[in-house]
Amino acid sequence: MLLSMQEIANTTAQAAETVTPEKLFDQIKTLSLTDLGEKAISWAVSFGGRLLAAIVVFIVFRWIIKRIRRRLKMRMEKKENSALIPFTVNLVSISLNILMIFVVIWILGIETSSFIALFASAGIAIGMALSGTLQNFAGGVMILVFKPFQIGDFIDAQGKAGTVKAILITNTVILTPDNQTIYIPNGSLSTGIITNYSAQDFRRVDWTFSIAYGDDYQEARSVLEELIGKEKRILNEPAAPFIALNKMADSSIDIVVRAWVNKADYWDVYFLMNETVYKTFEEKGLSIPFPQVGVHIKQ
């Protein structure tokens, strides 16, 4: 049955009297605040639990990382592999810290796939920006794996000579004889020429002593043989001392002397022999020449 227009108007008027705009706003406001409060409480309880769990995991992870660093360092020190200690400890620590960050993010309920994509993109950008640093990192790995030198060795590389004090992730630290600290990038160090003076137990000392034309070569040779025989640090192995007339230069007769010593005695023997030969040649009447030009005037 269809309602008449009068009945519809009466029904609308009654509904308007029953639910006023103020009452409707109050009901909507009350329902919204209640629903919002319930959702907020529910979210706070849920997130609070995840946050607490994340904090606990973070603390436990940090404690584990510190113990792993300490144990790893102690074990490597026992093996006397000191060159690898800072490199390996730092690499393991960085890897574990990255793992910890991902675990904490996962516990907090944050989608990790987006972070992985973000880290991958950032890694590519950083890799392109730090190509030189990555090359030095790869060079450090090559040095630590193939070991062309170790801490404590005296090397000559990239035009610098000194004692190796540390092999870091991206560079090598050497200390020069005049107490200068030099940092050499591992990238250029791993691809360049390295002279390691400490790699062998013995080193050969080379001298060139000169006498003047007219001096007795055999006497000079006998003097050198006597001085070498008196020096106890000169060895007969891996080869006996060698003395020979090297060349007849413009102003001198050059005599070459070669002898083997322990690597620790190299510089002491080298400097002492220079001083001893200079004094003895003078005592024996052997002249040590110097470059000179003779001028003859014809009248």
Confidence of residue 15 (pLDDT cuts 50, 70, 90): very low
Determine whether domain 202-283 maps to CATH 1.10.1370.40. no
Question: How is the chain classified by DSSP, letter by letter?
Answer: -PPPHHHHHHHHHHHHHHS-HHHHHHHHHHHHHHHHHHHHHHHHHHHHHHHHHHHHHHHHHHHHHHHHHHHHHHHHHHTT-GGGHHHHHHHHHHHHHHHHHHHHHHHTT--HHHHHHHHHHHHHHHHHHTHHHHHHHHHHHHHHHH-SS-TT-EEEETTEEEEEEEE-SSEEEEE-TTS-EEEEEHHHHHHS-EEETTSSSEEEEEEEEEE-TTS-HHHHHHHHHHHHHH-TT-BSSSS--EEEEEEE-SS-EEEEEEEEEEGGGHHHHHHHHHHHHHHHHHHTT--------------
Residue 124 has pLDDT above 90, yes or no: no
DSSP bridge partners of 21: none
Residue 172 vs residue 34, higher pLDDT: 172
pTM: 0.56
What pLDDT score was predicted for residue 1?
42
What pLDDT score was predicted for residue 3?
46
Contacts of 64 (CB under 8 A, 6+ apart): 96
What pLDDT score was predicted for residue 221?
93
Of the chain, the percentage scoring pLDDT greater than 90 comes to: 29
What pLDDT score was predicted for residue 70?
82
Q: Over range 169-192, report the average pLDDT.
A: 90
Residue 55 has pLDDT above 80, yes or no: yes
Range among 66-80, 105-119, 145-159, 262-276 with highest mean pLDDT value: 262-276
Same fold across 22-129 and 148-196: no
Residue 253 vs residue 120, higher pLDDT: 253
What pLDDT score was predicted for residue 79?
61
Confidence of residue 101 (pLDDT cuts 50, 70, 90): confident
Determine whether domain 148-196 maps to CATH 2.30.30.60. yes
Q: Over range 129-156, report the average pLDDT.
A: 81
Ranking 94-103, 119-128, 173-182, 264-273 by mean pLDDT, the lowest is 119-128
Residue 260 vs residue 115, higher pLDDT: 260
Q: Over range 52-72, report the average pLDDT.
A: 84
What pLDDT score was predicted for residue 96?
83
Confidence of residue 133 (pLDDT cuts 50, 70, 90): confident
Domain extent listing, the chain: 22-129, 148-196, 202-283
Enter the CATH code of domain 22-129: 1.10.287
Contacts of 152 (CB under 8 A, 6+ apart): 163, 164, 198
CB 193 within 8 Å of CB 157: yes
Confidence of residue 12 (pLDDT cuts 50, 70, 90): very low
C-alpha separations of 42 from 32, 38, 54 in Å? 15, 6, 18
Give the number of C-alpha atoms closer than 13 A to the C-alpha of residue 153, restricted to the C-beta side. 20
Distance CA 259, CA 265 (A): 12
